[in-house]
């Protein structure tokens, strides 16, 4: 090889690579999601959604005073199916949820009893239509809302860890709780396929102006589908879309915690709240705990918040992961305890860069506000 050829060859390779990069057309992103294969691709995810709904429906029977929730029944609902809800749950959370000392068993023990926050109780019980453990934590929410992260999001993480196909994209839409038609509503009368699970809460936090968290998730999934269709040359666009989808999901989870913190503060800071108001506030508070705790042990590469930060928030919520909760204090000593919820709001605001206007907007259920 001549000296001239040795000099020319690397230059040609650089030129060819440059031309190839220039020849790559910009990704064409359609206005709507292609749902033509959605039903065929999502049978597993729809079954998992149905299993979670069946489990929560059985657990909710404990809201009726005097009704005992059978542990074996709810444990079987959690463990049944291939895959089962338990099999897609983080090991950490599954160990907390099931077993002789798990939340499901503790919920069963509480059912059929009566309870008042702060009163001496071995097992907890029903308080104004909600079932609490002896610490005034509603274990229904540790199951339901906790599994939105620990099971449903964790399943999405598993899907994202494998090569992403068009079927995978449909499965991500489904396990998020949305449908290919992206209704942006939880109202069955308004849509054939209303949003459920975290997608439903994202819709509540979205002002339907095309800019909110629901829209961000939808747009990311439309881009992801387009990038997968376009082939391997658009791997970078696939990764961008996946990252945007993950962040929108996580931020909607945090925004919903903020919404419920606002509700608890508003209710329990009133003069002499009634027992039904206290119960409603502790219910909303327990949703906060479930939404937060379910993200603990999700692989760090798939979430922005760290486990250390989650632990700080759980401590502020009087429900530390490694100690007995003192949830009842929010109802029995609101003057000293409610400022902790303001700290939770401020912590999440800083973590996700929410604006003050967004924090204010998160107080509302925009689906209800806009009648959609």
For residue range 126-138, what is the model confidence (pLDDT) as tens digits?
A: 999 999 999 999 9
Question: Which one-letter DSSP state was computed for residue 192?
Answer: S
Assess whether pLDDT exceeds 90 at residue 1. Answer: no
Q: What is the pLDDT of residues 291-330, one digit of tens each?
A: 999 999 999 999 999 999 999 999 999 999 999 999 999 9
What's the chain's average pLDDT? 95
What's the rounded mean pLDDT across residues 33-60? 98
Of 272, 12, 36, 290, nearest in space to 141 by CA: 290
Of 217, 87, 216, 231, nearest in space to 163 by CA: 231
Give the pLDDT score at 22: 57
> Among residues of the chain, what percentage have pLDDT more than 90?
92
Q: How confident is the model at residue 7 (pLDDT cuts 50, 70, 90)?
A: very low
Residues 6+ apart with CB under 8 A from 338: 264, 265, 268, 269, 330
> Among residues of the chain, what percentage have pLDDT more than 70?
94
Give the pLDDT score at 49: 98
Token code pair at residue 18: 């440059």
What's the rounded mean pLDDT across residues 75-93? 97
> Residue 30: how many CB atoms within 10 A of its CB?
11
CB-based contact 258:180 (threshold 8 Å): no
Q: What is the residue-wise DSSP string for 241-283? A: HHHHHHHHHHHHHHHHHHHHHHHHHHHHTSSS--HHHHHHHHH
Q: How many helices (H) and strands (E) does the chain have?
A: 20, 2
What's the rounded mean pLDDT across residues 201-226? 98
Dihedral angle sign, alpha carbons of residues 123, 125, 131, 137: negative
Helix spans in 98-161 (H): 103-110, 139-147, 154-161
> Residue 353: how many CB atoms within 10 A of its CB?
8
* Interhelix angle 275-293/339-352, nearest 10 degrees: 30
Backbone angles phi, psi at 282, to 5 degrees: -65, -30
Q: What is the pLDDT of residues 163-184, one digit of tens each?
A: 999 999 999 999 999 999 999 9
What's the rounded mean pLDDT across residues 329-336? 98
Weakest mean pLDDT among 92-96, 107-111, 120-124, 352-356? 120-124
Tell me, yes or no, if the pTM score tops 0.95.
no
Give the pLDDT score at 5: 46
Give the whole-angstrom CA distance, residue 216 versus residue 254. 15
3-state secondary structure (DSSP) of residue 130: strand
What's the rounded mean pLDDT across residues 128-153? 98
Q: What is the pLDDT of residues 14-23, one digit of tens each?
A: 444 444 455 7
Give the whole-angstrom CA distance, residue 222 versus residue 16. 32
What's the rounded mean pLDDT across residues 148-174? 98
CB-based contact 81:51 (threshold 8 Å): yes
Alpha carbon 260 to chain centroid distance? Answer: 14
Q: What is the pLDDT of residues 258-287, one digit of tens each?
A: 999 999 999 999 999 999 999 999 999 999
Give the pLDDT score at 24: 86
What's the rounded mean pLDDT across residues 115-129? 95
Assess whether pLDDT exceeds 90 at residue 32. Answer: yes
């Amino acid at each position: 090889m001549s000296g001239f050829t040795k000099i020319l060859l690397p230059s040609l390779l650089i030129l060819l690579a440059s031309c190839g990069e220039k020849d790559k057309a910009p990704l064409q992103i359609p206005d709507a999601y292609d749902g033509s294969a959605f039903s065929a691709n999502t049978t597993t995810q729809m079954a998992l959604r149905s299993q979670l709904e069946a489990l929560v429906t059985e657990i909710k029977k404990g809201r009726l005073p005097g009704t005992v929730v059978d542990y074996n029944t709810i444990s079987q609902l959690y463990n049944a199916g291939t895959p089962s809800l338990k099999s897609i749950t983080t090991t950490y959370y599954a160990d907390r949820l099931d077993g002789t000392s798990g939340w499901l068993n503790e919920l069963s023990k509480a059912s059929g009893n009566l309870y008042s926050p702060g009163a001496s109780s071995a097992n907890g019980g029903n308080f104004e239509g909600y079932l609490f453990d002896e610490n005034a934590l509603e274990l229904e929410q540790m199951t339901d809302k906790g599994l939105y992260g620990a099971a449903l999001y964790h399943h999405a993480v598993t899907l994202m860890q494998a090569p992403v196909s068009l079927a995978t994209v449909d499965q991500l839409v489904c396990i998020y709780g949305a449908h290919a038609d992206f209704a942006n509503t939880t109202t069955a009368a308004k849509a054939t396929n209303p949003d459920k699970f975290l997608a439903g809460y994202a819709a509540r936090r979205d002002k339907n102006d095309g800019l909110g968290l629901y829209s961000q998730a939808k747009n990311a999934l439309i881009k992801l589908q387009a990038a997968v269709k376009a082939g391997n040359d658009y791997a970078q666009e696939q990764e961008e879309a996946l990252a945007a989808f993950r962040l929108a999901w996580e931020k909607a989870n945090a925004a919903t915690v903020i919404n419920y913190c606002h509700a608890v503060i508003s209710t329990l800071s009133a003069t002499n709240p009634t027992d039904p108001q206290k119960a409603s506030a502790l219910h909303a508070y327990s949703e906060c705990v479930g939404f937060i705790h379910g993200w603990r042990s999700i692989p760090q590469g798939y979430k922005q918040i760290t486990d250390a930060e989650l632990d700080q928030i759980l401590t502020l919520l009087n429900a530390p992961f490694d100690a007995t909760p003192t949830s009842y204090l929010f109802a029995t000593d609101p003057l000293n305890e409610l400022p902790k919820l303001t700290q939770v709001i401020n912590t999440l605001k800083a973590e996700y860069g929410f604006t003050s206007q967004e924090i204010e907007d998160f107080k509302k259920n925009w689906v209800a506000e806009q009648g959609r």
